[in-house]
Amino acid sequence: MIEKLQDLVNGNPGLVRRGKWTNAVMLLGIGNANWIITIRAGQIEAIAPEGWTVSPYDFAIRGTEEAWEKFWSPLPPPMHHDISALVRAGKVRMDGDIDMLLANFLYLKLVLEQLRGHYAPEAA
Amino acid sequence: MQIEPIIGRYARMEIHGRPHRLYWEESGKGIPLLCLHTAGSDGRQFRAILNDLDITSRFRVIVFDMPWHGKSSPPEGFQNEEYKLTTDGYVDLVVTVAKALDLDRPVPMGCSIGGRVVLELAKRHPEMFRAVIGLQSSAFAQRYFPIDPLHKPNIHGGEMCAAYCYGLVGPVAPMKERWETLWHYMQGGPGVFKGDLHFYSMDGDVSDRLGTIDTAQCPVYMLTGEYDYSCTPQASKETATLIEGAELTIMEGMGHFPMSEDPKKFKSYLIPVLEKIAGP
């Protein structure tokens, strides 16, 4: 499901242009599932489940399943429509190199938004 | 070509005892509606109100850029200072501008930090104002994100300010207005948004003073967007219950910048308030 993000981002020239200088490895936590997303020059180079031993990353954005499900719904409810809103609501937390994350925050918010309307929980 | 009816001018005046060069725009005739922009932005947020004949036919809409913001300069010597907005400084600024422009009992309409300061104005100077309108107004706003990254050499300040504000625009706002709103944030001076937030989430807690606002003398109207996670509907509701007679409406689908992010929808909420102030 989450792998769709690669095509959604790489097929969006405006977004790739915005991320021209973004080179980072992001851990995206969805409930208990962690994904390693490698970004090179604004393109998503790879999306893979976190390795069972060691998976280095620059920063992590971790949220509950419910938080992401609502965030990626076509019209999210209040407090679930933005990463900052989810942080405020206590449903998403961020760690790692926060300066690096924030320096690329607008790009990353737009990247994560691409899954809106494209996500359904794995179990469904 | 179409020329808008807005007139913009610069004024030289003393603010906080120091010479300033202040930019303001206005349009219309009637009751002065003195508009106060949000933290880190400028008067362009009120572009739709200034251009709206339904409003400017009855109100003289006046919008100034706060010192350090938009086309208003910081005072001489600013390069050696850290900008920090305080409650006293902000109240003094609005009163000074209202007096300098010789406004007869204007109606301050402020958003966010402006929505906060109008409560202070109603408390401290009820005789000066015929009513106040607080947009995204609450007694206090809890800080939920670090503010130092807003002014740090390794992070682009304009991009950072826009990133912080991106989701504060409601999710159904028209793209054109969303990105215009964010553009204003991208253009703010270094550290200015951060300096305004000193007032918003440090200095400007009015919780303990709201009970004494006399809404019979100075009515208080509040409009808050449903999607605002900075000044939440809940925070506005709690604030409104502390002010006897305050009237609060929650604006469906709207975020933190109603006049700028979705002017058309905002108008449908604003007109009933303006009619209460001016008569139908």
pLDDT digits (tens, 9 = 90+) for B110-126: 999 999 999 999 999 99
Does residue B88 carry a pLDDT above 70?
A: yes
User: Among A76, A87, A103, whose Cβ lies nearest the Cβ of B171?
Assistant: A76
Q: In this predicted model, which residue has the larger pLDDT, B141 or A22?
A: A22
Distance CA B244, CA A77 (A): 31
Instruction: Taking residues A53-59, report their average pLDDT.
Output: 88
pLDDT digits (tens, 9 = 90+) for B199-248: 988 887 888 888 899 999 999 999 999 999 999 999 999 999 999 999 99
The DSSP element (H or E) to which B264 belongs, if any, is helix B263-278
Mean model confidence pLDDT for chain B: 96
- Exposure pattern of A86-101 as b/e (b: 16+ CB <10 Å)? bbbbebbebebeeebb
**Closest approach of A106 to chain B, Cα-based (Å):** 4
Rg of chain A over Cα atoms, rounded to whole angstroms, equals 13
pLDDT digits (tens, 9 = 90+) for B164-194: 999 999 999 999 999 999 999 999 999 999 9
First to last CA, chain B: 34
Collect all residues of chain B within an 8 Å Cβ-Cβ radius of residue A103.
149, 154-156, 159-160
Measured CB to CB, residues of chain B less than 8 Å from chain A are 144-146, 149, 152, 154-156, 159-160, 162-164, 166-168, 170-172, 226-227, 229-230, 232-233
% of chain A at pLDDT higher than 70: 97
Q: Which two tokens stand for residue B64?
A: 């100034």
Q: In this predicted model, which residue has the larger pLDDT, A22 or A121?
A: A22
Look up the ipTM and state it.
0.94
Q: How would residue B280 be classed by pLDDT, with cut points 50, 70 and 90?
A: confident
Instruction: Taking residues B146-154, report their average pLDDT.
Output: 95
% of chain B at pLDDT higher than 70: 100
- Exposure pattern of B64-86 as b/e (b: 16+ CB <10 Å)? bbbbbbbbbbbbeeeeeeebebe
Residue linked to tokens 């440090």: B202
pLDDT digits (tens, 9 = 90+) for A36-52: 999 999 999 999 999 87
Residue of B nearest to A72 (CA): B171
Which residues on adjacent β-strands are paired with residue B8? B25
Interface of A with B in 95-114 (CB under 8 A): 98-99, 102-103, 105-106, 109
What local confidence, expressed as pLDDT, does residue A3 receive? 92
- Asked if B233's CB is within 8 angstroms of A84's CB, the reply is no
Burial class (CB in 10 A: 0-12, 13-18, 19+), B134: buried
What local confidence, expressed as pLDDT, does residue A122 receive? 59
User: Among A84, A102, A103, whose Cβ lies nearest the Cβ of B167?
Assistant: A84
Pairing of strands A43-49, A59-63: unpaired
Q: Which residues fall within 8 angstroms of residue B81, CB to CB, at 6 or more apart?
A: none
**Closest approach of A88 to chain B, Cα-based (Å):** 6
Task: With beta carbons less than 8 A apart as the criterion, state whether B166 and A87 touch.
Answer: no
What local confidence, expressed as pLDDT, does residue A124 receive? 42
> Is A88 part of the contact surface with chain B (CB cutoff 8 Å)?
yes
* Biggest CA pair distance of chain A: 37
pLDDT digits (tens, 9 = 90+) for B249-273: 999 999 999 999 999 999 999 999 9
- Asked if A102's CB is within 8 angstroms of B149's CB, the reply is yes
What local confidence, expressed as pLDDT, does residue A120 receive? 78
- Asked if B168's CB is within 8 angstroms of A76's CB, the reply is no
What local confidence, expressed as pLDDT, does residue B149 receive? 95
